[in-house]
A and B are shown apart, each in its own frame.
Chain A
């Protein structure tokens, strides 16, 4: 009842003083000077993911057993979770609030589990029809090109995907070894992307030589270049072309194509990045005795820690502060390498201390193979004249891969220099969206800044410490002679246990606290959400304070 009962004379009163109705006539909302309201925010994991995956949402959906929607949530920003779930450097996890509490949520492992479920359920992938007449050419089928083609096809644009190699995938196929990313997984992921819409594949066609960029420019309404870095850098010493010395990436390519390779008994790998780690660990699996030579110390190695630690565990040896000075060849074949000892001098532009030779300190070691793995360069000779370039990379002006040519967009390593799979995916998607707007003459959306929550905004009293669930893996002792995938992935039980660790930062996950603690019973619990009844809310803000995840905000009344 919302009417107040008032007795005009004592005759109207009951004989015994008894309650006849409730207090709803008393609209206590007028007491309020601050108003609470539901205000979901951006979780730090999402803010940390280069392609902006809605991580909180898909982890929540996992806890609800809705794998299909969880997978689809990822696909909205990343078409290959089975790939990133295996090889991503997961900056999301470095941003995860839980990292400041105990250990980050293993987002990467959850992503992989969902990616694998997507492979098991090919029906989840929506097939898009060609609904637009403008044609787009995508050059390069690494993560950048695949992502761009996927999101263009989703918008209904017919896409032609040019790839100079025999098969699609770029570094995913030729660089990253099978023990981290099995070929059959990659095949299925690439297959699903190509089949998802109007994508025509042209392999074995090198744009810039087999077909000119000008020709493509003429035939298509827009072009995306995801060329990556395909040329190995040389170390620049004599005899680098002798038998037994091969670029690391070339070795990986052979191994990844299933070719039987025998690098010999003793193998040296030069470099300290992820390519060097992949080359070393692959050579180990071919049965060699492997040593990595790096000109600085372990602290300066650009490879990610996990890779270095695993390489060590598997038996790769490391020589720091050493760099090849001379390759000694006998009858055109590698016999030994003379190394120069280095020491760390002043910091260089990257902030890392520059290695300088220690005068007269050298040593010599014999090897059957030497794999330089000191980085890759772009091969854009065929594009000069058409586009502005800088440092042998394609220059991009905006955040959507715009180049000096209105119709041509570029993204991935060819723009950023050596970066990562997820950054390439993000670049491909953003360009696809931008190309869509370019072709349909749509206006650029206005950027609304995200409010990202941090641990200080949250009420951690509701969380207790729980260790991260480790991903099961095959023992390091069993890796020789096989390229079997190391990480076997979460079981269903581990997946749920890890998903349960997510705090759902900034987004309501129906914990009931606000509803439960409201002293004024002013919060209604609906079927799918909660609702504050401002007729009665007194503005105590208990609901805001007790929300563990900062999904409510406040506003002063009268403003």
Chain B
């Protein structure tokens, strides 16, 4: 057989409690392959607080500190500080939270940690709703989506919060989006983050078949089509928020192809889909304009 295309070491084992086809689980598996054994995790309330298993078991080999919903970033900061105090500057500390715990309730703690430039990796696995408690809307839920708190008669009519811009405003050394459809890319970005000192924010697009009313086998396909339809752009922000690189080297696909298999968008009419398509394209153009604009400003160095 050929050489393996991603590291062979497994740190996330079988028997866990995630649903069939769970993207959040794939994301964790790839991230741990990149970070290796000398890593400590901080996980607030979210699906992943359940997935790893029930005390005293865990499907993850690295230690996990389970913590309160709003505290991932601050607990990770504290854990890192504690390790430093004991002379351990090698261990990577990773906060691993859902979008509810990041975009909403955990935002304050994250903003504080980022402002202080704490030496942590903060990963938000973004499944675009509060899944663990039964699919409630979050500020990451996209425009048009059904959730139990945005029923089809009153589907979500606000756009997804632009978390990347919020993080960029903190001028931290590394920000990236990733998608479970691109394991090599997740691994590359995690490995890169590991080598950078300061706050690293990585937002991984992680489909949730259960919450999206999606056939589980289409999990990776959605993670891919989300990217190729430009709904969920892949980007990296470096130089403390001053340099933006957007991934464009893909075969473009349509927004409809992405939305169609997902039950959470089934109620949308043709006109509403047209509107979403226009919005996706406008956001994409804005993003490219920003990339160009930032590129045209000479750096300080």
Contacts and interface: CB of A to CB of B under 8 A. Distances in A.
Interface of A: 4-5, 7, 13-14, 17-28, 31, 461, 464, 510-512, 516-517, 519-522, 525-529, 533, 535-536, 538-542, 544-546
B220 A546 contact: yes
Given A27-B15, A520-B14, A529-B1, 5 more contacts: A22-B13, A519-B21, A525-B4, A541-B216, A545-B218
Which DSSP category, helix, strand, loop or mixed, fits chain B's interface?
loop
B16 A542 contact: no
A536 B221 CA distance: 22
Given A24-B13, A542-B219, A516 B57 contact: no
Nearest to B59: A23
Given A5-B57, A22-B58, A545 B217 contact: yes
A190 B252 CA distance: 52
Contact of B13 (A521, A538, A540): A521
Contacts, number: 119
A19 B57 contact: yes
B224 interface: yes
Contacts of A527: 1
A23 B219 contact: no
A19 B21 CA distance: 25
A22 B56 contact: no
Nearest to A508: B1
Given A517-B26, A517-B183, A17 B59 contact: no
B17 interface: yes
A461 B217 contact: no
Contacts of A5: 56-57
A12 to B, nearest CB: 10
A131 to B, nearest CB: 36
Interface of B: 1-2, 4-6, 8, 10, 12-18, 20-23, 25-26, 29, 52-53, 55-59, 61, 63-64, 183, 209, 216-221, 224, 251
Contacts of B220: 517, 542, 545-546
A-B interface, 9 closest residue pairs, ranked by CB to CB distance from nearest: A23-B15, A536-B14, A541-B217, A540-B20, A540-B21, A26-B15, A540-B216, A545-B217, A23-B59
Contacts of B23: 519
B4 A520 contact: no
Nearest to B249: A464
A7 B56 CA distance: 9
Which DSSP category, helix, strand, loop or mixed, fits chain A's interface?
loop
Contact of A20 (B18, B57, B219, B221): B57
5 contacts: A19-B64, A519-B18, A520-B18, A521-B12, A540-B20
A14 B56 CA distance: 9
B2 A510 contact: yes
Given A17-B55, A24-B14, A28-B14, A512 B216 contact: no
Nearest to B53: A23
A346 to B, nearest CB: 48
A2 B5 CA distance: 29
B8 A23 contact: no
B189 to A, nearest CB: 16
Contacts of B1: 510, 525-529
A18 B56 contact: yes
Nearest to B29: A521
B55 A19 contact: yes
Nearest to A22: B13
Given A4-B57, A22-B59, A521-B10, A512 B5 contact: yes
A544 B55 contact: no
Given A536-B14, A540-B20, A540-B216, A520 B25 contact: yes
Contacts of B224: 461
B87 to A, nearest CB: 22
Nearest to B251: A464
A342 B179 CA distance: 66
A22 B14 CA distance: 9
A18 B63 CA distance: 9
Contacts of B22: 519
B8 A533 contact: no
B5 A516 contact: yes
Contact of B56 (A19, A525, A529, A545): A19
Nearest to A545: B217
A24 B16 CA distance: 8
Contacts of B183: 516-517
Contacts of A528: 1
A237 to B, nearest CB: 60
